[in-house]
Each structure stands twice: as C-alpha cells, then as structure tokens.
Amino acid sequence: MQVQIETSPLENLGADALAVVVFESEEAQAAHAAEAPAVASSATPDPEIAAQGGWLAEARSSGEVSGKLYEIAVLHRPQGLAAKRLVVIGGGNREKFSPVEARRVAGTLVRSLKGKGVRTIALLIDSEPLAEFVTAAVEGAVLGGWDSNKYKTDLKKTDKRVDSFIVAVPGADTNLLNGSVERGRVIAESQNLTRDLVNEPANKLTPTALEQAARQMASEAGLEYQSLDKQAMTDLGMGALLGVAQGSDNPPHLIVIKYRPSLLAGPAGAAGENHLALVGKGVTFDTGGISIKPSDGMEKMKYDMAGAAAVVGAMRAIAQLRPPIPVTGYIPTVENMVNGNAQRPGDIVTAMSGKTIEVLNTDAEGRLILADAITYAIRNGATHIVDAATLTGAIAIALGHYNVGAFTNNQEFLNRLLAASREAGEKIWQLPMDDEYKEYLKSAFADLPNIGGRYGGSITAAWFLREFADPTPWVHLDIASTAWLDDSKSWMSKGPTGVAVRTFVQLAADWDRPA
C-alpha cells in the first residue's frame, strides 16, 4: 500500500473515498455547525460542498450517524467533491479521541472499503498533536490492509486491497509531516512482517525456515547477523534450550541480530554504555512434548513463536528508524515435538548459567529456551533486557485478551517501557513479583523446577526467568493472550496481531528521553 500526505483542499482530492471523522454529541445542532465546515476545507465553502453538512445532519437525526466509534456511513457521488464517495466514520467522544482511536479508524476504513471497489482512501486528520495522529493513521491503514489469506486459492474472494492511503491535512507543512508518514509506514510494515511469520503454518515455518527469514530481513536492512547451530550451543552449555529441541527432527537455532547506530550511514545519538537486548520465544510448533497438549486448539500452537517474530519485526523497523541505542535481538527457536528422544518429565538439565533445572512439565518449554538466551545476551554485553513470549495460558485468566502482562526486577526500567507502550498504543499491565512467589519454585533434586504449581502460573514463570536475568534490569512480557485474535475486529483481521513490535521500537527510539 502506498501512503502519502496531501495538503490541497479536500474538494480537489480525487480519491475513491474521502473520509472524515465525526463525534458523538448531545446537541445535534452544535455538531452540525462544527461538522459542515469540516467536510469542506475553507472558511467560505462552495454551497454544493456545504450541502454535505445537510446530509450529515439528516443522517444524524435519522440515527444513521451517531458518531459512535468506528460506525460508518457513505454518501455516493457527493456534490462539489472530486472524491467518488464521502465517508463519515465515528470517532466517539471528541475529548477521548487519541492516536489509538485514529489508528483504529484508519484500519476500519481500509477493512470496510477494500471489498467495495475502493482502491484509494483519503482521511482528513485535523487533531493535535498532528504528527502523532498522522503516524497513527498511517499505521492503522497499513495494518488494516493485512489479511491471513495467503494460502487461499480463490483470488476473486481474496484479492481485495486498497492501493493508496492519503492523509489529508489541508494547509499543513508537508516537510514537517513526511517523517511522520514514513515512520508510520515503516512500523506498520514491520508489524505486518511479524504477522506474516506468525501466520505461517508449522510445516512451512520450521526453526530453520525462521532462521532463514530472519537472515533475509537482516541482510535487506543492513544489520549484523549470526546464527548459532546445535553444535555451537552444545559447546556453550545451553542444556535448557537443547533439552526442548531434542524431541524434534528439525534442528534448533539461536538467532542474533545486531543494530549499532554507527553501522548505518548518517548521524545517530549516543546512549552511553547502554545496550538493549530484545529476546523472543521462537517455538515454531508446541505439541507440549510428552506432557502433550489437548487436541482442541493445538493447531494455533504455530503462533508460539510470536515473541520471536516480534523481535524480527522490531529489528527491521529499528534499522530504518535508527534510534540512539545499540539493540540486539536474540531468538532461540526450536520445535517442541515428541519422538523417541524427547525430553521426559523428571529430566534434569543444566542451563548455560550453570543452574540445574528439573523438568516437571515438558509443556513449560518456553522458559527453558529463554533462560539460555537471556544468559547469552548478558554475556554479550546486554545492560537492559526485554523478552516477549507466548509463555502461559494463565495470563489470559489474569488479564483476558486486552493487556500484555509485564514483570520486572527493575521498576525504573519497566516504567520506561510502560511509557513507550502508552505512546505506541499497546496495552501492558504490571503484575507482582513479590519474593513470596519464588517459594512456589522448589525442587528436591535440582536448583529449581520449570513449573511452580497451579497458583500464580504467569508469576512463577516470570520468576523462573528472573533467576537467569538478575541483576541485569529486565522486563518480561507475556503475550500469550494478546498475540492472536480469535475473532476479527473492525480494524484488524483474525489471526496474529504483531503485538510488542511498536513498544519495542518506541522503547529504543525514546532511550535518550528522561525516564
């Protein structure tokens, strides 16, 4: 999808659809007075253009338009406008309208109109701060254009797309907003890359295929790349990771992707001696191992590498947006399968850190591969670590499908990440890490078990990871309930969401800002 800024009067925009946002109001008359000029773009609009305001007032009085969030009404062949359609879309309460809603409005427009022969959409943006709303609108449009239909063969049903999205900002300074458009495009395309990877079935995206996809991205983005194979990981003593991988015929990999501001052309800020590590769980399919999962819903376990895919997408965006801090992505990728050599409940493995782990449940495998990746990141100079993982079903019980669960050993670092998530429009909620929860992690035979019982499952999983992260400032993001949509939204299709990409990018971009 092409995206661009347009500063000319709205009546001259020759799009298939020109969209304006309308808001809920208790006083229709006041709303009409405000909205009629908004359809036009000058203080003295042409009478034919102003007539659209009359249509809008009539639609309001009939109940066709209420301003409710994401509600759409369409006027075909509007008078005095070059656009073929005038579309009004609800923005809800004007005081609560933020870049989050603007992102979803743009996505809703694309998803609603792309199946109706609309190839070009223009959306009027006039909210402040303008740059943030422009970026959000572009993100929403590009994200809304994505679908999970890659393997469908009926092109008449599946080849529905919007070719061009125009952010209409009449009279604005294009030079000030071009960067906002580009930022939105880069981030959304990177988030869609993450969604592409998560959407791949496990027979297509093995650990080796994920390694190849990450390698290709790094090459195209100009990033340093390294991949550790089974022998290299054996030499390093990564027994926790290799124990999970031993049940699969597909070999494991530890992918390392490096961004350094000095490696890319042009000026970049300095971040002192800080070095941010992004770690993503990359289980390309999770049967549960010998502690096998129920068959119901197991097909979705192709998305158990969503954390890994988020790191790939974030590193792509970081390479193009060039934040001031060095960032390295670490992706341990395995299959958790069942064969004659599969890991057994009761096995004891030795992690790279030297800690011994009693494997009580082979379906708690993500924390095992992350443990070795976190240790490797620290030994390679990481001063701050964020991991993203579809780690526990318990997080859905705690938070539902709307918030990512966050855990930390360093409140200041988490506060920085939470600020980035709010700016990026991703919901993250902190859960406790009180010392008492560590008491659930006891083993009579090893340093710690890989599960802590039925209570506080997400917290004990985080505590397990903390054993390998301390004392390095670290945040764990449990994305198990937010990385996949079971039902489509008006602004996003069913399937992978690409969650955490925007937060990762924003965290790196804001590194020089005061915490």
Per DSSP bridges, beta strands 484-485 and 495-496 are antiparallel
Backbone angles phi, psi at 284, to 5 degrees: -70, -25
d(CA 344, CA 223): 38
Per DSSP bridges, beta strands 404-408 and 474-478 are antiparallel
> Among residues 112, 180, 194, 99, which one has the least CA distance to residue 148?
194
Tokens 């992918």 belong to: 255
Tokens 């009629």 belong to: 36
Spatial contact of 144 and 107, defined as CB atoms under 8 Å apart: yes
Whether residue 204 lies in the annotated active site: no
Whether residue 215 lies in the annotated active site: no
As given in the structure block, the two tokens for residue 389 are 């993982």
Tokens 């958790």 belong to: 336
- As a whole number of Å, the end-to-end CA separation of the chain is 36
Annotated catalytic residue within 85, 111, 183, 367: 367
Backbone angle region of 288, left / alpha / beta, with phi > 0 → left and psi within -120 to 50 → alpha: left
What DSSP string runs through 157-211? HH-----EEEEE-TT--HHHHHHHHHHHHHHHHHHHHHHHHHHS-TTT--HHHHH
DSSP character at residue 223: -
Q: How far is CA 149 from CA 56, 153, 198, 482, in A?
A: 36, 9, 13, 20
d(CA 225, CA 28): 59
Annotated catalytic residue within 84, 230, 260, 293: 293
User: What residues act catalytically?
Assistant: 293, 367
